[in-house]
Amino acid sequence: MIVVPLIQKIAELFLILFCTAALVRAGIVKTEDSKVLSRLSLYFVTPCVIFNAFQKELTPDVLQGMGAALLLSILFHTVFILIAALFGKLFKATEVERACVIFTNCGNLIIPIVSYVFGQEWVIYVSCAMVVFNILCWTYGIRIFDNKSPLSAKRVLLNPNIIALILGAATLILKIRLSGPLEEFFNDMSGMIGPLSMMITGMVIGSMSFKELFANRRIFLVILFRFVFCCAAAVAIIKLTGIEGRIADGHTIAMISLLSGAAPSASNINQFAIIYNHDAKYASAINVVTTLLCIIFIPFWVFVFEHV
């Protein structure tokens, strides 16, 4: 049963988070140090993980599975955007709240979980979700915060994560496999993504009190829409499309897609909130709280998925 190893891996990652928070409380490291680690994670470690995920043999089954993962991610994000729009209409949701409902931390948290539970060879299907995430996040996501400035194709195409996707896909299609030091380099970098992301979140948590995290009571609405409505919609989409029975390894690929869709709010939203002056403290609180609560909600929705 997948729920048990899933909970074990999430618990392991959370131990890293709490230990890092304790270091901040003890004054050994500072919350400000997380900014450097965030940039390293976003622009160096994550692109390496994405590229490394494509170091796989391209078989008809893999190609079909990638297509299914891409389709599910597109459907998920489309429905998440509609749910966020409903959130905005019913409760006058802010830009930060709507973005936190739509975009998930599908890379930093889900990649190490998938590697542990299923194996490194399955990370490629997480990368398919990250393709959709990155394109939407750096286009539609930015438009949520800044609807006046024109979209920059250069900003999207020159993003290290998009470059890594393009280069990784090229190596997959051209059957280019790394070996020796290069192979070990990318494998080692891929192993860093989970611990590094939890350290960053731990640094933020270490400087915040419980009261600060829930200072804005609307955070409970964000939790409701992100972890209940969006996750329920993701399970429904998988079941309605019938992808599980249509392709080889359909159940596992659908499960990986669900994990990406049920992840906490994306850490990128914090950075957008800072850049465009949209209540960055609240965005950080949402990221922290949803990350903490995912230890409950992710196993719950996996259990629902397996028993519906």
How buried is residue 50: exposed, middle or buried, by Cβ count under 10 Å (0-12/13-18/19+)?
buried
Report pLDDT for 80: 98
For the chain, which residues make up each domain, given as ranges? 32-307
CATH of 32-307, one of 1.20.1530.20, 1.10.3720.10, 3.40.50.20, 1.10.340.70: 1.20.1530.20
pLDDT digits (tens, 9 = 90+) for 187-197: 899 888 888 88
Going residue by residue through the chain, which has 308 residues, state the pLDDT in tens, using 9 for 90 and above.
Answer: 678 888 888 888 889 989 999 999 999 998 888 888 888 887 898 889 889 888 888 899 999 999 999 999 999 999 999 999 999 999 999 999 999 999 998 877 888 888 888 888 898 899 889 889 988 987 888 889 887 766 666 767 777 888 888 899 899 999 999 999 999 999 899 888 888 888 888 888 888 887 888 888 999 999 999 999 999 999 999 999 999 999 999 999 999 999 999 999 998 887 788 777 788 789 888 988 998 899 899 999 999 999 98
Half-sphere exposure of 152 (CA within 13 A, CB side): 8
Q: Is there a contact between 128 and 290 (Cβ–Cβ < 8 Å)? A: no
Rounded to whole angstroms, the Cα distance separating 155 from 257 reads 27
Report pLDDT for 230: 98
Cα–Cα distance list, 121 to 22, 62, 117, 166 (Å): 34, 10, 11, 19
Cα–Cα distance list, 268 to 89, 214, 252 (Å): 24, 20, 27
Of 296, 204, 302, 197, which is closest to residue 260 (Cα–Cα)? 302
Report pLDDT for 149: 66
Give the sign of the dihedral formed by CA 200, CA 272, CA 122, CA 5. Answer: positive
Q: What is the gyration radius of the CA atoms in the chain, in angstroms?
A: 18
DSSP letters, 134-184, are HHHIIIIIHHHH-SSSPP-HHHHHTSHHHHHHHHHHHHHHTT----HHHHH
Which DSSP letter does residue 120 get? Answer: G
- Amino acid identity for residue 198 in this structure: M
Cα–Cα distance list, 143 to 101, 147, 181 (Å): 15, 5, 41
**Own/partner pairs, 280-287, CB within 8 angstroms, 24+ separation:** 281/212, 282/96, 282/216, 282/219, 283/96, 283/100, 284/204, 284/208, 285/208, 285/212, 285/213, 285/214, 285/215, 285/216, 285/219, 286/96, 286/97, 286/100, 286/219, 286/222, 287/100, 287/105, 287/201, 287/204
What beta strand segments (E) does 59-115 contain? none
Provide the Cα torsion 19, 21, 26, 30; round to 10°: 130
pTM of the entire predicted model: 0.88
